[in-house]
Structure 1
Amino acid sequence: MGVSREKFLASAKELLSFVNKSPSPFHAVDEVKKSLQKVGFQELKETEQWTIAPMKKYYVTKNGSAIIAFAVGGQYKAGNGFSIVGAHTDSPCLKVKPVSAKTKNGFCQVGVECYGGGIWNTWFDRDLTVAGRVLVKDKTSESIESRLVHIQRPILRIPHLAIHLQRDINDSFGPNKENHLCPILATCAQAELQGDKTPALGDAAASGPASQASKHSPTLVRLICQELNIDPGQMMDFELCLADTQPAALGGACEEFLFAPRLDNLFNAFTAYRGLLDSLSDSSLETDTNIRMISLFDNEEVGSQSAQGAGSTFQELVMRRVSTSPARPTAFEESIAHSYMVSADQAHGCHPNYSEKHESNHQPCFHKGIVIKFNANQRYATTSVTATILREVARKAEVPLQDFVVRNDSPCGSTIGPIMSAKLGMQTIDVGAAQFAMHSIREMGATDDVLYAIKLYEGFFKHYPAVHESLKFN
Structure 2
Amino acid sequence: MSSSKITTGLLDFIAASPTPFHAALSLRSLLVTAGFTELDELERWDLTLGGRYFVVRGGSSILAFVKGQGEPQETGIRIIGAHTDSPCLKVKPVPEINVKGYWQLGIEVYGGALLNPWFDRDLSIAGKVSYLTKSGGLKAALIDFKKPVACIPSLAIHLDREANQNRSVNPQTDMNAVVYQADDNVSFRSLLLSMLEDADAEEVLDYNLSFYDTQSPAVIGLKDEFIASARLDNLLSCYLGLQALINASDEHTSVLICNDHEEVGSNTDVGAQGPLLDEVIDRLLPSGEQRQMALRRSLMFSVDNAHGVHPNYVKKHDDKHGPLLNCGPVVKFDANQSYATSSSTSALVRWLAKATEDRAEIPLQTYVTRADMRCGSTIGPLTAAGVGVTTVDIGVPTFAMHSVRELAGERDLSLMQELLVRFLSRASLPVASKL
> Which TM-score band applies after superposition, normalised by the shorter structure?
over 0.9
Is 1:382 paired with 2:341? yes
How far is the alpha carbon of 1:329 from its aligned partner? 4.0
Once the 2 structures are TM-superposed, how far is the Cα of residue 229 of structure 1 from its aligned partner? Answer: 5.3
* Cα distance change of structure 1 residues 253 and 60 upon mapping to structure 2, 3 Å threshold: same
Q: Which residue of 1 aligns with 2:378?
A: 415
Letter of the 1:315 counterpart? L
Q: Deviations over 1:181-221 (max 9, x none)?
A: 100111124xx5xxxxx1xxxxxxxxxxxxxxxxxx43674
CA distance change for structure 1 residues 437 and 224 in 2, over 3 Å: closer, same or farther? farther
Alignment partner, residue 323 of structure 1: 285
Unaligned runs of 5+ in 2: none
Q: Measure how far apart 1:425 and its partner are.
A: 2.2
For residues 378 and 433 of structure 2, the distance between their equivalents in structure 1, rounded to whole angstroms, comes to 29
| Distance apart, 1:146 and its partner CA | 2.2
Give the 5 Å matches for 1:432-443. Answer: 432-443=395-406
The one-letter code of the counterpart of 1:334 is M
Q: In 2, are the aligned partners of 1:251 and 1:258 still within 8 Å (CA)?
A: yes
For residues 102 and 247 of structure 2, the distance between their equivalents in structure 1, rounded to whole angstroms, comes to 51
Offset from partner CA, 1:416-444 (integer Å, 9 cap, x none): 01111111221100000001000110111
CA contact (8 A) 2:95 2:188 kept: no
Equivalent residue number for residue 157 of structure 1: 151
1:177 to 168, 171, 174: 171
Change in CA separation of 1:473 and 1:23 when aligned onto 2, cut-off 3 Å: closer
Partner in structure 1 of residue 246 of structure 2: 277
The structure-2 alpha-carbon separation of the partners of 1:249 and 1:302, relative to structure 1 and needing over 3 Å to count, comes to: same
Query: Residue 351 in 1 paired to residue 310 in 2?
Result: yes
Contact 1:221 1:232 (8 Å CA) reproduced: no
Aligned pair 1:44/2:34, yes or no? no
Retained in 2: the 8 A contact 1:149–1:228? no
Residue deviations 1:336-375, cap 9 Å, x none? 1011000000000011111111111111011111000011
Q: Shift of the alpha carbon at 1:411?
A: 1.5
Question: 1:168 and 1:419 mapped to 2: Cα distance?
Answer: 43
Contact 1:157 1:184 in 2 (8 A): yes
Q: Deviations over 1:121-178 (max 9, x none)?
A: 11100000100111233434x3333211111111100000110110011012211110
Could you tell me the percent identity over the aligned residues?
Answer: 36
CA distance in 2, matches of 1:422, 1:218: 46
Counterparts of 2:389 and 2:339, CA distance in 1: 14
Map of 1:333 onto structure 2: 292
1:466 pairs, out of 425, 428, 434, with: 428
Q: CA deviation at 1:77?
A: 4.9
Matches of 1:274 and 1:162 in 2, distance apart? 46
**Aligned equivalents of 1:17, 1:180: Cα separation in 2:** 33
SS of aligned partner of 1:429: strand
Listed one character per residue, the Cα deviations across residues 47-103 of structure 1 (whole Å, up to 9, x for unaligned) are: 111122210011111100000100011223556421000000000001111111111
User: Which of the numbers 130, 142, 145 marks the counterpart of 1:148?
Assistant: 142
Query: Gapped runs of 5+ residues in structure 1?
Result: 193-197, 199-216
Instruction: Say if 1:356 and 1:77 are closer, same or farther in 2 by CA, change over 3 A.
Output: closer
Partner residue in 2 for 1:201 = none
Match of 2:390 in 1: 427
* Shift in Å, 1:263: 0.5
The amino acid that maps onto 1:460 is F
Match of 1:444 in 2: 407
The one of 50, 56, 64 equivalent to 1:69 is 64
CA shift in 2, pair 1:8/1:237, >3 Å: same
For the pair 1:306 / 2:265, whether they are aligned, the reply is no
Match of 1:468, SS? coil
Shift of 1:230: 4.8
For 2:419, what is the secondary structure of its paired residue?
Answer: helix
Partners of 1:408 and 1:456 lie apart in 2 by 29
User: Could you say which structure has the larger radius of gyration?
Assistant: 1
Secondary structure at 1:378's aligned position in 2?
coil
Partners of 2:147 and 2:257 in 1: how far apart? Answer: 32
Provide the aligned length of Structure 1 versus Structure 2. Answer: 431
Q: Distance in 2 between matches of 1:228 and 1:218?
A: 18
In structure 2, the partner of 1:99 is 94
Q: Distance in 2 between matches of 1:350 and 1:386?
A: 24
Give 1:388 shift.
Answer: 1.1
In structure 2, distance between residues paired with 1:160 and 1:473: 56
Which one of 211, 219, 226 corresponds to residue 195 of structure 2?
Answer: 226
CA separation of 1:460 and 1:77: change in aligned 2, threshold 3 A: closer
Q: Distance in 2 between matches of 1:157 and 1:458?
A: 41
**TM-score, scaled relative to structure 2:** 0.95
**Does 2:16 align with 1:8?**
no
Separation in structure 1 between the aligned mates of residue 243 and residue 433 of structure 2, nearest angstrom: 32
Q: Which residue of 1 aligns with 2:104?
A: 109
> In the aligned structure 1, how far is the partner of 2:72 from the partner of 2:163?
63
Who is 1:130 aligned against? 125
2:231 pairs with 262, 265, 276, which one? 262
State the 1:9 CA deviation: 2.8
1:213 corresponding residue in structure 2: none
Q: TM-score, normalised by structure 1?
A: 0.87
Contact 1:298–1:304 (CA under 8 A) maintained in structure 2: yes
Letter in 2 for 1:385: S
Distance 1:77 1:404, change over 3 A: closer
- Return the alpha-carbon distance in structure 1 between the equivalents of residues 67 and 241 of structure 2: 17
Contact 2:132–2:201 (CA under 8 A) maintained in structure 1: no
